[in-house]
Amino acid sequence: MYLLMIQLMLHAWSDEDCVKVLRKCREAIVGKNNERGKVIIIDIVIGETEDDDAEATATKLFFDMLMMTVVTGRERTQREWEELFSKAGFGRHKITPMFGLRSLIEVFP
């Protein structure tokens, strides 16, 4: 099984660039013998749970503004992450809130 890990990188890129990277990741984890793997992404997910308090949401939105002004990226909601995964050819994913503002995102072909 192949495993790739991306940490706090995709939020700095546009949707188009993220899809390109994720497609390459998908190609890498689906080995020549059709073995399956997964991509692990550690990044911010805005409004992923109703348990997010106002301070955590405000901080995530601050990072969103920072990404939009400094680089071409942005922070994404769960739905926006799902759209990226779908466009890159992934079949399913799992998002687990942890690491303070960050979440563990597992993506499977």
Active site residues: 11
DSSP secondary structure letter of residue 37: -
* Dihedral angle sign, alpha carbons of residues 32, 35, 36, 40: negative
- How is the chain split among helix, strand and coil, in percent rounded to 5? 40, 25, 30
